Amino acid sequence: MGNNLKQIVSDILYVSKITKTKNKKAVIAFSVFLTQLIAFSDIGIILFFTSIFSEISVLPEQLKFLEFLFDVKILLPVIILFRYYLQYLQSVTLKKLELAIQLNLKNYVLFQIFENRNFSTADTYYYVNTLVPHISFFYTSIANFLNFFLQSIAFTIYLFATEPRTISAFFVGILFLIYPIYFTIKKSKDYENLIYKAGLEASGDVQRVLNNVFLIKLLKKEKDETSRYLKITSRLFDDSMTKHKLLVLNSYLAPFTTVFLISIIALFFNNIFNITLAFMGVTLRMFQSLASMSSATTQIINSHVHLDAFYNLEKYKISTLRENYVISNEPSNKIIFEMKDVNFKYLNSDIEIFEGLNLNIAKGSHTIITGTNGTGKSTLLGLLAGVYYPNTGKVFARTEKLGFVGPNPLIFTASLRDNLMYGNKINKNDKEIIEIINEFKLFEDNVKVDLDARVDNKSLSSGQMQKIAFMRVLLSDADTVFLDESTSNLDEETKSLVFDKLLDTDLTIINSTHDIDSFKNYTDHYKIELSMGKRLLKKIV
């Protein structure tokens, strides 16, 4: 128990540190204050109704001097309005805190993804869109726990002050709920862990489908892919439903026990215990608060599943994988990229993509990298470019002026000029830009080029997008270009133009391709081969 409490405190401090949300303590303190006012308002409303429907005194002896308030009937609707305004204000306050934490967490996660690099696309989506909301719930769950805990104390103090013997009997009965509540909380955490894993798997499956949607449709494998995804989501559905049932059971145990005990006492033991309308109302509210406190506890404990995944971000930050990618300015060194004993695997994966990888790339060379699908050609480019960092070993890069052309070029909804000059640190006048557009025949003949025209990936063909990617490189000051299946959408005429353009430059070209015959005058050819489950880099030329 002590270790669990210590871990919760540690988690609070951890989330507090990474969120950098201002005034969290003040917001939570204000929320707790509002909750206590709600509790006192509820007691007042219950006592008012009791005084209306019965003739007995509703206040303990110490508070008899306040009985005149119950004669001021207009106070009841005023208290009710005040009570629900407080609940509205508290709800808005906590929601604002939750959204502020969520916003800061998303920025934090995105920064870590860019900073630490070794995230798959599926992990990136899942961290930002699923994990972040769960972590933000953690902090508001802490606030809710405090709120309902203190609210329960307020109701309990009133009940012990007015009906100590009766409420003592209820607390004896509630002792029998300790194990069932503990059991449901523990099991719900187990299912939360299963839900997390299934959600991560589903996210990866969606990424795989989206990356290969053309092939899937071409081969008419839609039913197989749908069936595969349905199995994953069905498991996710079943686990989510089981967890929900456990949460509902957990939240109903205390109120059910209360109503059940009240019915038994009222029917068979009313001559021993004093059950009044006021006692019933306050007792029900007290156990409702206890149930809410139990639900908040469950959410806090379930959040550990997501916090464990978040701790990996911190672990990767501490491990400083960035130091394994070294950028140095050595103009006299003829080797522009050097890999020494590089090992690499993605975050959250046990599969080593590369082990003990060594490679040198000379300045001004044209290096071809081939290999079957899944051998890691794109990953190798990413390691050379600093998109990924080695887990161990070193990559030495003697340039930062990089360009990239891939099979799915970056095109965003903006002007044609903005797309062509994206990431460009040198100024180009409109004349230079239009000349290269016409040279690449981006549009049909006689079409007047409007650099301010808005374009996106729907208004351009795949070939046009790839042309823009090549023009983007040629308009920049890049001295190294990474090509990844870069000509897959180009016609033969444009391919020849691209090759001639590249040969006329001093660019270092690192080229991952299946179509080696299309490229002229390459200086080196490496092939990635799988052997005994390991990837080997074999020099062909």
Between CA 133 and CA 126 the distance in angstroms is 11
Tell whether the model's pLDDT for residue 63 goes beyond 70: no
Nearest-5° angle of CA 272, CA 278, CA 279?
40
Helix axes 222-268, 277-318, angle to 10 degrees: 150
- 109, pLDDT greater than 80: no
Q: Which residue has the higher pLDDT, 341 or 51?
A: 341
Instruction: Measure Cα distances from 438 to 40, 203, 368, 447, 525 in Å.
Output: 77, 42, 29, 10, 33
Choice between 335 and 44, residue whose per-residue pLDDT is larger:
335
**Residue 397, pLDDT score:** 93
In this model, does residue 282 exceed pLDDT 60? yes
Q: Which position has the higher pLDDT, 2 or 380? A: 380
Burial of 519 per CB tally in 10 Å (0-12, 13-18, 19+): buried
What value does the mean pLDDT take over residues 97-125? 74
More confident residue, 383 or 306: 383
Share of the chain above pLDDT 70, in %: 85
pLDDT at 2 over 60: no
CA gap 498, 494 in Å, rounded: 6
- Confidence at residue 362, expressed as pLDDT on a 0 to 100 scale: 92
Q: How confident is the model at residue 387 (pLDDT cuts 50, 70, 90)?
A: confident
Residue 538 confidence (pLDDT) above 50: yes
HEC secondary structure over 372-423: CCCCCHHHHHHHHHCCCCCCEEEEEECCCCEEEECCCCCCCCEEHHHHHCCC
Mean pLDDT of 401-430: 85
Residue whose pair of structure tokens reads 């300790």 in the numeric block = 178
- Identity of the highest mean pLDDT range in 52-61, 104-113, 265-274, 339-348: 339-348
Tell me how far apart the alpha carbons of residues 303 and 138 are, in angstroms, rounded to a whole number.
Answer: 6
Say whether pLDDT at 394 is over 90.
yes
pLDDT given at position 88: 93
Phi and psi at residue 269, to the nearest 5°: -130, 25
pLDDT beyond 60 at 3: no
Greater confidence, 177 or 249?
249
With cut-offs at 50, 70 and 90, classify the pLDDT of residue 1. Answer: very low
pLDDT of residue 342 exceeding 90, the answer is yes
| pLDDT of the residue at 499 | 81
Question: Which helix (H) or strand (E) segment is 10 a member of?
Answer: helix 2-19
What pLDDT sits at residue 398? 92
Q: Which range is most confident: 92-96, 275-279, 381-385? A: 381-385
Does position 363 have pLDDT exceeding 80, yes or no? yes
How far apart, in whole angstroms, are the C-alpha atoms of residue 295 and residue 188? Answer: 11
| pLDDT (0 to 100) of residue 85 | 94
Residue whose token pair is 């990089």: 402
Torsion angle (degrees, nearest 10) of CA 496, 499, 502, 508? 170
* Band (13; pLDDT cuts 50, 70, 90): low
**Chain segment 151-205, per-residue pLDDT in tens:** 888 888 877 877 777 777 677 766 777 788 778 878 888 888 888 778 777 777 7
Domains belonging to the chain, first-starting first, are 14-318 (1.20.1560.10), 324-539 (3.40.50.300)
Q: End-to-end CA distance of the chain, in Å?
A: 64
- The mean pLDDT value of the chain amounts to 80
pLDDT of residue 8: 61
